[in-house]
Structure 1
Amino acid sequence: MHEALLFLHNWVRWAVLLFGLWALLRPETRPGAFFAHGLTLQVVLGVVLAFVSPYFQGLLAAFGEAMRAGGEARFFAAEHWVGGLVALGLAHAGLARARKGRPGARLLFALALGVLLLSVPWFRPLVRL
């Protein structure tokens, strides 16, 4: 189950990044909804993955050690999932602005996409088969 969730989490990432780019270029309701709701799916997959992943469970067991060690351990113990949650909030705030026709949706989508790009583990395989 862990491998299947990791596979899905990896592939949904690319869809979310494309939807984020679309929402940035056209800050309207439909692109914003695809971005925000795709990111919601990505976060849900990540949370479920955290519960079944032996790697993440090991990080939680030695959280303080992972934070001191830095590198990949710290990235997944703290930065990866916090960045995803922050991006999720920004994307939904952008969607709310786009739905109401208020200015600022593009800025919120840009911030969400920026945080998301910083939260992607680019040092891991970009495509899992």
Structure 2
Amino acid sequence: MYTGLLHLHNSLRWLILLVALVTLVKYFMGWFSQKGWMKSDNILGILFTAIMDIQLVVGLVLYLGYSPITKAAFQDFGAAMKNADLRFYAVEHFIMMIIALALVHIGRSKTKKAISARRKFGISLVFFGIAYIIILAAIPWSRVIA
């Protein structure tokens, strides 16, 4: 079960990075070209948010139930904080991804309330862009490359 969930979590990571990048590029082009906010722009925002939500659920299942890394960290949290790998998964990865998810949801909410297309693109670019940077920082690249 753990291996399957971990593979799903890893696969969703690449999907998130791809959808986020496509969304950011499309919004960037929309903001600079001063085009109208299209249905496809809205769908991209919904898709990015939905995939992030699915990733959260899979991540929480791993974090709270199946990951041997977090299980080890929770057994002696004080010692885990002194171990960079355990601290990363038990605290840093988790918190940064929650912040990224919150930014995506805030950006999505503010975008829906904005009236002008330029404002929608601008708000989305700021919130989704910051979330994207946080996501990139929170990915355990040493495990991806290895």
Task: Name the TM-score, length of structure 2 as normaliser.
Answer: 0.79
Say if 1:20 and 1:113, in contact at 8 Å, map to a contact too: yes
Q: Which whole-Å deviations, capped at 9, do the CAs of 1:25-55 have from their partners, x for residues lacking one?
A: 2233211111111011111100001111222
Which residue of 1 is the match for residue 16 of structure 2? 16
Q: Report which of the two has the higher share of helix.
A: 2
How large is the Cα RMSD of the aligned pairs? 1.6
Number of aligned positions between the proteins = 126
Name the structure 1 match of 2:138. Answer: 119
Instruction: Find the residue that maps to 2:143 and give its secondary structure.
Output: coil
- The runs of 5 or more residues in structure 1 that have no matched partner are none
Matches within 5 A, 1:1-129: 1-27=1-27, 28-50=41-63, 51-69=65-83, 71-101=84-114, 103=119, 104-126=123-145
CA distance in 1, matches of 2:3, 2:129: 31
Structure 2 runs not aligned, ≥5 long: 28-40
Deviations 1:53-81, CA, capped at 9 Å, x for gaps: 22211111121111123x21111111111
* Identity among equivalent pairs (%): 33
Q: When the two structures are superposed, what TM-score results if normalisation uses the length of structure 1?
A: 0.89
8 A Cα contact 2:69 2:89, kept in partner: no
What amino acid is the match of 1:10? Answer: N
How far has the Cα of 1:110 moved from its partner? Answer: 0.2
Structure 1 segments of 4+ aligned residues over 6 angstroms from their partners: none
Larger deviation: 30-39 or 98-107? 98-107
